[in-house]
């Protein structure tokens, strides 16, 4: 299965993440190295593994935009299913990941998720909106412990062909698309979030990302209900790290990938 691995300044962790996905059987692995200034690409090349390819972009793309770049790669390569796995996850989850990829292909799942045991969010707005979205999704009852912005994710070519590329950078909207299109959504792996051993981020960065994901969830509710999109809920517009998403670079990269 094709694996897309977003990475921004992960020189100290990228080799561990690559060993996990390669050990689980992912092949090829495309690292979306965006705006790296710490030698991430050099560390990847030092592995000398022909299964690993680097898409090197000199500018930071912003939260989850590398996922959308990976979707363009998956479409260009005509991959039936694609795994997204972050370059800072160094926990040894090879066993769960191997079974996850096998089941995605065996059951031909369009959106495959992990139950990481995350049932509540510290931000009240995100917690409320995520619970609201789950109630409105026809498969929401199966999403206990899950959030599409957390943990490994697999998407089918069927879904990627049917959704706007920028929405891959807004994971909650993918569930709304899947519901409206009648596609298959399943939770195929379970492990505690801590086992992914993700890097610790500054509190300001975490807060900005949470605000962006909150806005993404508002957009997902609008999409599901057939309303005009907004990021505004209860008098607040949720932007945060969304303001740093480089849609212009996404468009340029997607065009180059399609052309190449």
Has residue 215 been placed in a domain?
A: no
For 228-260, the pLDDT digits (tens) are 999 999 999 999 999 999 999 999 999 999 885
Has residue 227 been placed in a domain?
A: no
* Percent of the chain scoring above 90 in pLDDT: 94
Question: What is the total count of domains within the chain?
Answer: 1
Q: What is the model's pLDDT at position 260?
A: 59
Q: What is the model's pLDDT at position 204?
A: 86
Has residue 20 been placed in a domain?
A: yes
Average pLDDT, the chain: 96
Has residue 64 been placed in a domain?
A: yes
**Rounded distance, CA 132 to CA 27, Å?**
37
Has residue 59 been placed in a domain?
A: yes
Q: What is the model's pLDDT at position 6?
A: 98
Mean pLDDT of 149-166: 97
Whether a cis peptide bond, with omega within 30° of 0, leads into 28 is yes
Beta strand extents in the chain (DSSP E only): 2-7, 29-34, 52-57, 81-84, 111-115, 153-156, 185-190, 232-233, 236-237
The predicted model scores a pTM of 0.96
Q: Domain with 169 in it: what CATH number? A: 3.90.550.10
Has residue 147 been placed in a domain?
A: yes
Q: Which residues of 87-103 are buried (b: 16+ CB within 10 A; e: fewer)?
A: bbbbbebeebbbebbee
Has residue 239 been placed in a domain?
A: no
CB 175 within 8 A of CB 110: no
Q: Which residues contact 252 (CB under 8 A, 6 or more apart)?
A: none
**Rounded distance, CA 8 to CA 199, Å?**
12
For 191-206, the pLDDT digits (tens) are 999 999 988 777 788 9
**119 — pLDDT class (breaks 50, 70, 90):** confident
Region of poorest pLDDT, from 65-79, 122-136, 187-201: 187-201
Q: What is the model's pLDDT at position 198?
A: 87
Residue 25's domain comprises: 2-198+247-259
Has residue 17 been placed in a domain?
A: yes
By DSSP bridging, strand 52-57 and strand 29-34 are parallel
């Amino acid at each position: 299965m094709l694996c897309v691995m977003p990475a921004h300044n992960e020189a100290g962790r990228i080799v561990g993440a690559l060993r996990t996905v390669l050990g689980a059987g992912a092949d090829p692995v495309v690292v979306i190295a965006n705006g790296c200034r710490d030698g991430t690409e050099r560390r990847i090349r030092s592995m000398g593994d022909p299964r690993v390819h680097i898409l090197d972009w000199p500018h930071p793309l912003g939260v989850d935009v590398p996922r959308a770049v990976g979707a363009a790669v998956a479409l260009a390569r005509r991959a039936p299913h694609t795994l997204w796995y972050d370059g800072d996850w160094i926990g040894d989850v090879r066993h769960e990941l191997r079974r996850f990829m096998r089941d995605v292909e065996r059951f031909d799942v369009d959106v495959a998720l992990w139950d990481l045991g995350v049932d509540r969010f510290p931000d009240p707005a995100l917690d409320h909106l995520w619970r609201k979205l789950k109630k409105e999704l026809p498969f929401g009852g199966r999403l206990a412990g899950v959030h599409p912005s957390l943990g490994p994710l697999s998407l089918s070519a069927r879904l990627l062909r049917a959704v706007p590329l920028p929405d891959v950078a807004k994971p909650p909207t993918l569930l709304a698309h899947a519901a409206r299109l009648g596609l298959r959504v399943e939770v195929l792996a379970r492990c505690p979030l801590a086992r992914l051993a993700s890097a610790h981020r500054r509190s300001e960065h975490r807060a900005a990302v949470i605000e962006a994901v909150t806005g993404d969830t508002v957009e997902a509710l609008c999409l599901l209900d057939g309303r005009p999109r907004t990021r505004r809920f209860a008098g607040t517009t949720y932007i945060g790290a969304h303001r740093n998403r480089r849609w212009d670079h996404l468009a340029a990269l997607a065009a180059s990938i399609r052309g190449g």
